[in-house]
Amino acid sequence: MEKTENILKINNVSVDYGFLRAVNNASLDVNTGEIVVLLGANGSGKSSLLKAILGLNKASNGSVQFLGKDITHVPTDKIVASGICLIPEGRGILPLMTVMENLELGAYYLKNDFKKYLEDVYQLFPILRERGKQMAGSLSGGEQQMLSIGRGMMSAPKLMMLDEPSLGLSPVLVNDIFQVINHLREAGHTILLAEQNARKALQIADRGYLFEKGDIVLSGLVKEIIDDPKIKDAYLGGG
Amino acid sequence: MENVTLQVILAQLINGIAIGSIYGLLTTGLNLLLVVCGVWHYAYPYVVVFSMYLAWLVHRNTGNIALTLLTAFIAGIAISLITEPLFRPLSKKSEGAPIGTFILSTGILVILADLMNNVFIRLGFTAGSVVGFPQIAGNSLIQFGLSSLTYGQAIMVIGTVISVALLFYLLYRTKLGKSFRAVSQDRVAAQLLGIPTLKTRLNAFTVAGVLGGMSSVFLIIALAQASATISDYLAIKVFAIALFAGVGNLPGGLICGLFFGVFESFLVSFLPGESGAVWGNAIAFILILATVLFRPRGIFGSRV
């Protein structure tokens, strides 16, 4: 990665749920064209941080900068409009709307060029073209995940955030999803990925951050951290 | 004899579609507020009838029919938008419709009912609690034997059918309607798509206001009178139809509203004598009760 233009910068962000601190003074950054992975067990604060970036969780302190602008207190819809999309855990598809309607709503802020992005989505996920008129809720789990990612692509985001995209999928589909993520990067997307499947995630990521109970305990280039005993012990089943 | 029966059936069908469309419009308004804004607006039909009272005041002072109907329409929208900020802090956080909104709505109900029942009389606007409008377009358009179709009825049936068609178009073909449905299915997912929460909320209150305003115009044409009793009746009916169809189910509420209008209209005409009007309601409510008992999520299921 030669071009290191910063796209997202998080400074000392904390997220509290009542008395419970979910994220404790987290700082991280994402550069254009990278895949950055957030690793950590369930409840370690990855999702809370992703939601805080979009303003769905209020940050108790710290700031979030996107493309050089402070977005810490900007409403969610404005942040989405400015080019961040989150493909949420559990996919967040609209079950009683058709596949096509879901994709259309992905392009909520696009003024034109809608068709061009639709073609990109269909190229990556041909099955969505066939399923266009079907209710999204009737799709299989893997197809729903594809729809969720496709819908994210429809907004032509400058930063794609994926929260546990491999959760609940069969091993074959997990491979497919990671291939898709790799493909997205090749197509020019910048990706921030929260994932429990560390082995897979580290294969495609450039850099990683390891969360433990809300703290970032390790960070760096994948090749630097992959041999760290913390990663090995906890998530790769080594040691 | 057969001919007469056919005429009665036709007349009741027209009547039923007209009243059913009003049920449908109001149920949809109620559902929109519920699923898009998280507001259980039980007083919504009271707002509609209160708009008729305001229109009546205009008619009393000007005698202008067009202005009267315009007032009913505008008042429906205006009252809806004025009450929106009251509901906002109550429905902000949680999913679904918090009980606080229902309590606030009941408060609005009490105020509006009191205005209609007492204040209008105290101020000397009206002698009794019923206000009357002139028969609008009361000449008969078509006469079939014993019954006839007046211009007013024809306007109303055509008007309501067009409104229902427009509503379906809005919900399924426009960006606004799609964002309503998206918010109703999954509020968080809708936020992630960038659907603006406050704007969508104001839009939903506006659309509910338009539906209410149209309903009050149609009610003036259909009933040529307004009273607080009508709002009691409408509120219970619309609430029950929403339960019957499945709470928050937008197309379901619309369809069930139409169905109940026609169903009631036939019950009233085919049950003997005066008992029709009384039993009509009772049977309708028994049907609703039975449905909710055996299918707690309604005929079409909650939330679409």
Alpha-carbon gap, residue B241 to B232, rounded angstroms: 14
Give tens-digit pLDDT for B87-119. 998 876 656 668 889 999 999 999 999 998 888
Contact A101 B178 (CB under 8 A): yes
Domain spans of chain B, in order of start? 2-294
Q: Mind listing the pLDDT tens digit for each residue in B195-222?
A: 998 899 999 999 999 999 999 999 998 8
Distance CA B251, CA B304 (A): 8
Partner residue facing B178 (CB), from A75, A81, A104: A104
CB contact under 8 A, A88 and B188: yes
| Residue of B87 and B274 predicted with greater confidence | B87
**Arithmetic mean of pLDDT, B170-196:** 91
Q: Answer yes or no: do A94 and B188 touch at CB < 8 A.
A: no
B chain contacts of residue A106, beta-carbon cutoff 8 Å: 193
Assigned token pair, A137: 């809720």
Radius of gyration of chain B (CA): 19
B 163-192 near A (Cβ less than 8 A): 175, 178-179, 181-182, 185-186, 188-192
| Bridge partners of residue A69, in order along the sequence | A66
Residue of B249, B217, B166, B299 whose CA lies nearest to B18? B217
Q: What is the dihedral of CA B261, B265, B271, B275, to 10 degrees?
A: 80
Q: What is the predicted pLDDT for the residue at A237?
A: 52
Q: What pLDDT shows up at residue A221?
A: 94
Question: Which of B192, B197, B304 faces A92 most closely, judged by CB atoms?
Answer: B192
CB burial of A138-162 (b: ≥16 within 10 Å; e: otherwise) equals ebeebbbbbbbbbbbbbbbbbbbbb
Residue of B nearest to A101 (CA): B178
Determine the pLDDT at residue B296: 82
Give the H/E segment covering residue B164: helix B151-173
The pLDDT of residue B2: 59
State in words which class domain B2-294 has: mainly alpha
What DSSP character marks residue B149? Answer: E
Output the pLDDT for position A3.
Answer: 53
Which tops the pLDDT comparison, A30 or B233? Answer: A30
Percent of chain B clearing pLDDT 70 (strictly above)? 92
ipTM of the complex: 0.89
Give the C-alpha separation, A110 to A107, whole Å.
5
B304/A contact by beta carbon, under 8 A: yes
The answer for B 128-147 residues in CB contact with A (under 8 A) is none
Bridge partners, residue B157, by sequence: none
- pLDDT at position B14: 83
